[in-house]
């Protein structure tokens, strides 16, 4: 007879086995239910911060880089030039730089390089510098933007220099055609003005205009900086907090302007230049702003037209311009006078055909492949800069290929019709056109 003392042992062992099995099963199920972390991407290590003054700081540490790249962008450009004072954004930047005419040399003495400029939408500074000299480089630039102010003598020197530059300019036929085309396409809209202005507009700008432009737009919360290279986010933040924390913030002025005048029928503008070797052809419509969901469709349209018009040989260039407000979808070419009428006809017909004819699958696939490759080749830091400039979704670079692949032939026709209904084609021909274009 089994002793009562040990009769409970089998039951206990069975309970232990059942409990252990149940626990292991629960652990296995829990493991299956755990969220799987997303695979790493080139943007996984991007860090974003905002200083108390509203300045946006975006950094990406890359230990293997030889230098640190720093892209500082202020969201103001020639689009905010005052009426009758085109070139104000450019002259404001020049007046500020004239306070420290040795800025480039000072950065170069740190084994770095610096560039700056004004576009229609932005004022920008690009710096490449060794990590060891990053703080000093940011101190030099910060002193200019945060501490210094435009001085009367610097303004006068910058104004005189810009007038001299304009007087001495000898724009090419192609550059004159570009300027005339944008003026014809946009009219009085700010995108129709050139960046530098002309002698009368620059001469008419007063010191107070430049002061006011800087006060209204050169603000910390109207600026962003992208830093990429062998530098930590903590050090970047420490540098900017210490050197740029005093940059004032203010009320941001939005880029709200009346749309360009509608053009209801094909408009052909002829500019006779009897001594011109070639005929410059420009044509297009006002397109879409870069944040429009259909902007990628216009980029595919540009690529399709480029291939159809023989762009691979360099004869024709077609582009959908990425801008804060609707930029142009336009083509350009420079050809001998005897070829110009046929090419201009082919250009206009090809453009119009996008709205009426379906796109062959192979043609659309080739355009998609090219555009996806273009976006994939853009450096991470430039994508980060564009996200800030255009207020794009932060995951835009990761989703852009999927969005491009989703575009259909019907989308091409729909967007082409929408653009051509809004504004008929504007065509400008410049050169020996009196006989060839009758």
234 plus 331 within the same structural domain:
no
Computed over every residue of the chain, the mean pLDDT equals 90
Please tell me the predicted confidence (pLDDT) of residue 157. 97
Is 42 part of any domain?
Answer: no
Please tell me the predicted confidence (pLDDT) of residue 75. 97
Distance (Å, whole) CA 391 – CA 388 = 5
Closest CA to 381 of 211, 236, 255: 236
Distance (Å, whole) CA 63 – CA 130 = 12
Is 252 part of any domain?
Answer: no
Q: 11-20, 176-185, 293-302, 413-422: lowest mean pLDDT where?
A: 11-20
Please, are residues 276 and 425 in contact by the beta-carbon 8 Å criterion? no
Of the pLDDT bands very low, low, confident and very high (cuts 50, 70, 90), residue 283 is: very high
Please tell me the predicted confidence (pLDDT) of residue 67. 97
At residue 245's C-alpha, the angle toward residues 240 and 251, to 5°, is 120
51 plus 177 within the same structural domain:
yes
DSSP-derived pairing of the beta strands 123-129 and 68-74: antiparallel
Is 1 part of any domain?
Answer: no
Q: Give every CB contact of residue 172 below 8 A, 6+ residues apart in sequence.
A: none
176 plus 229 within the same structural domain:
yes
389-418 residues labelled b (16+ CB within 10 A) or e (exposed): bbebeeebbeebeeebeebeeebbbebbee
Full residue range of the structural domain in which residue 99 is found: 47-244
For range 399-413, the mean pLDDT: 97
299 plus 196 within the same structural domain:
no
104 plus 203 within the same structural domain:
yes
Residue 108, φ and ψ in degrees, nearest 5: -65, -30
Distance (Å, whole) CA 106 – CA 99 = 13
Distance (Å, whole) CA 192 – CA 122 = 16
For range 261-287, the mean pLDDT: 89
Give the global pTM: 0.87
**Where in 273-425 does DSSP place strands (E)?**
279-286, 316-320, 328-335
217 plus 362 within the same structural domain:
no
Is 369 part of any domain?
Answer: yes
Is 121 part of any domain?
Answer: yes
Q: Which residue has the tokens 């070419």?
A: 333
Residue 380 confidence (pLDDT) above 80: yes
**Where in 112-249 does DSSP place strands (E)?**
113-118, 123-129, 223-229
Is 309 part of any domain?
Answer: yes
Closest CA to 309 of 301, 318, 319, 298: 318
172 plus 304 within the same structural domain:
no
pLDDT digits (tens, 9 = 90+) for 46-83: 999 999 999 999 999 999 999 999 999 999 999 999 99
363 plus 277 within the same structural domain:
yes
219 plus 337 within the same structural domain:
no
Residue 213 confidence (pLDDT) above 60: yes
Please, are residues 122 and 391 in contact by the beta-carbon 8 Å criterion? no
Residue 349 confidence (pLDDT) above 60: yes
Residue 206, φ and ψ in degrees, nearest 5: -100, 165
Is 427 part of any domain?
Answer: yes
**Where in 244-293 does DSSP place strands (E)?**
267-272, 279-286
Of the pLDDT bands very low, low, confident and very high (cuts 50, 70, 90), residue 34 is: low
Q: 9-13, 223-227, 420-424: lowest mean pLDDT where?
A: 9-13
Please, are residues 333 and 347 in contact by the beta-carbon 8 Å criterion? yes
Is 251 part of any domain?
Answer: no
Please tell me the predicted confidence (pLDDT) of residue 54. 97
Please state the domain count of the chain. Answer: 2
For range 97-108, the mean pLDDT: 96
226 plus 295 within the same structural domain:
no
Please tell me the predicted confidence (pLDDT) of residue 264. 83
Domain of 199, CATH number, reads: 3.30.830.10
């Amino acid at each position: 007879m089994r002793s009562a003392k040990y009769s409970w042992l089998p039951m206990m062992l069975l309970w232990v086995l059942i409990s252990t099995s149940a626990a292991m099963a629960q652990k296995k199920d829990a493991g299956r239910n755990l969220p799987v972390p997303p695979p790493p991407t080139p943007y996984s290590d991007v860090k974003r911060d905002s200083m108390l003054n509203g300045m946006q700081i975006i950094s990406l540490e890359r230990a293997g880089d030889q230098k640190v790249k720093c892209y500082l962008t202020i969201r103001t450009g020639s689009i905010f030039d005052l009426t009758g004072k085109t070139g104000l954004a450019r002259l404001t930047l020049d007046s500020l730089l004239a306070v420290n005419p040795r800025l480039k040399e000072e950065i170069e003495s740190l084994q770095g390089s610096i560039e700056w400029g004004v576009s229609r939408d932005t004022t920008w500074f690009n710096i490449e510098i060794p990590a060891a000299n990053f703080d000093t480089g940011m101190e030099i630039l910060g002193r200019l933007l945060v501490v210094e102010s435009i001085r009367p003598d610097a303004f006068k020197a910058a104004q005189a220099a810009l007038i001299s530059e304009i007087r001495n300019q000898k724009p090419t036929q192609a550059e004159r055609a570009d300027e005339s085309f944008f003026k014809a396409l946009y009219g009085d809209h700010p995108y129709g003005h050139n960046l530098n202005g002309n002698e009368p507009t620059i001469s008419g700008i007063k010191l107070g205009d430049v002061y006011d432009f800087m006060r209204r737009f050169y603000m910390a919360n109207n600026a962003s900086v992208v830093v990429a290279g062998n530098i930590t986010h903590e050090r970047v933040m420490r540098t900017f907090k210490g050197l740029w924390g005093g940059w004032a913030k203010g009320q941001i002025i939005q880029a709200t302007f009346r749309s360009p005048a509608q053009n209801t029928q094909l408009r052909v503008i002829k500019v006779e230049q009897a001594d011109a070797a070639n005929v410059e052809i420009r044509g297009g419509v006002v397109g879409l702003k870069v944040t429009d969901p259909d902007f990628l469709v216009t980029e595919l349209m540009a690529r399709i037209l480029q291939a159809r018009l023989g762009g691979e040989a360099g004869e024709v260039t077609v582009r959908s311009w990425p801008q804060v407000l609707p930029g142009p979808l336009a083509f350009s070419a420079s050809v001998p006078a005897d070829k110009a009428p046929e090419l201009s006809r082919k250009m206009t017909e090809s453009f119009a055909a996008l709205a009426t004819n379906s796109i062959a699958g192979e043609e659309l696939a080739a355009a998609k492949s090219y555009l996806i490759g273009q976006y994939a080749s853009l450096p991470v830091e430039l994508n980060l800069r564009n996200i800030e400039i255009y207020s794009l979704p932060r995951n835009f670079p990761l989703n852009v290929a999927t969005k491009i692949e989703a575009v259909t032939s019907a989308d091409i026709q729909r967007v082409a019709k929408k653009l051509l209904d809004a504004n008929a084609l504007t065509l400008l021909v410049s050169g020996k056109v009196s006989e060839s274009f009758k």
